[in-house]
A and B are shown apart, each in its own frame.
Chain A
Amino acid sequence: GQQVMQIPQYQHVQEGEDFTTYCNSSTTLSNIQWYKQRPGGHPVFLIQLVKSGEVKKQKRLTFQFGEAKKNSSLHITATQTTDVGTYFCAVRESNYQLIWGAGTKLIIKP
């Protein structure tokens, strides 16, 4: 079945620094979704990427889908305390089933 590797597991940043998480697959993906889960909360949908080379922006968040549709990244510019949480990518195994990455936890250093 589909597998997706997400790195890094954790990233510690100073407030104001940038953050990036990566998802990689050995197979070509039909699409990829990104979710954010705040501490103690539930996953919340951020975006879905479908097209090869697609780049989408949401304020300070930039999402990219690789040209070969085998990898994706989420980049946050100038992190803020509200960005704290775990960011997950999720890829389609079938018409409905999502396979989730292990997540990257964003930690803001005090």
Chain B
Amino acid sequence: GAGVSQSPRYKVTKRGQDVALRCDPISGHVSLYWYRQALGQGPEFLTYFNYEAQQDKSGLPNDRFSAERPEGSISTLTIQRTEQRDSAMYRCASSWGGLDEQFFGPGTRLTVL
């Protein structure tokens, strides 16, 4: 693809529901990152994949958050039993390798009512 894509672009859900956010990285990019970005702030690291291996999940806020990248390409960030404090912009980025520039997707704006 031409760039990183994310879906859905907007998600409104009720408290307690589960949501799954999808990221489709640039073809061939080995590294994939998930971030959360609050308004007026820089991206906050959530988790990192090298190919299909989740090498760091230290930024995931709690055990309601999980992520996978089973085939080393598309990744899904899942939030279980959503809470209002989970409302934010969730961004995915990919890169050729861990040291390279990161290419960001458009993000998914999650609103938990």
B55 at the interface (CB under 8 A from A): yes
Chain A 18-65 interface residues, beta-carbon cutoff 8 Å to B: 33, 41-45, 48
A98 at the interface (CB under 8 A from B): yes
Complex Cα distance A98/B91, Å?
A: 14
Chain A 85-110 interface residues, beta-carbon cutoff 8 Å to B: 88, 90, 92-103, 105
Interface range on chain B: under 10, 10 to 19, 20 to 34, or 35 or more?
20 to 34
Residues of A with C-beta under 8 A to B56: 94, 96-97
Known: A42-B104, A44-B104, A45-B103. A95 touches B98 (CB 8 A): yes
B51 at the interface (CB under 8 A from A): no
Residue of B at shortest CB range from A93?
A: B45
Closest-CB distance, A27 to chain B (whole angstroms): 18
The answer to whether A95 and B101 touch across the interface, beta carbons within 8 angstroms, is no
Complex Cα distance A94/B58, Å?
A: 12
Known: A42-B91, A95-B99, A96-B56. A90 touches B42 (CB 8 A): yes
The answer to whether A98 and B102 touch across the interface, beta carbons within 8 angstroms, is yes
Residues of A within 8 Å of B, CB-based: how many?
22
Interface centre among B42, B48, B106 (most CB of A within 10 A): B42
Residues of B with C-beta under 8 A to A33: 101
The answer to whether B42 and A102 touch across the interface, beta carbons within 8 angstroms, is yes
Residues of B with C-beta under 8 A to A96: 31, 33, 48, 50, 55-56, 98-99
Q: A-facing mask of B44-62, CB < 8 A → 1, else 0?
A: 1100101000011000000
Residue of B at shortest CB range from A33?
A: B101
B8 at the interface (CB under 8 A from A): no
Complex Cα distance A18/B103, Å?
A: 28
Residues of B with C-beta under 8 A to A93: 45
Known: A103-B40, A103-B41. 9 other contacts (CB 8 A): A43-B91, A43-B104, A94-B56, A95-B98, A96-B56, A97-B45, A98-B102, A101-B42, A103-B42
- 6 A–B contact pairs at CB < 8 A? A42-B105, A43-B43, A43-B102, A45-B102, A96-B55, A101-B42
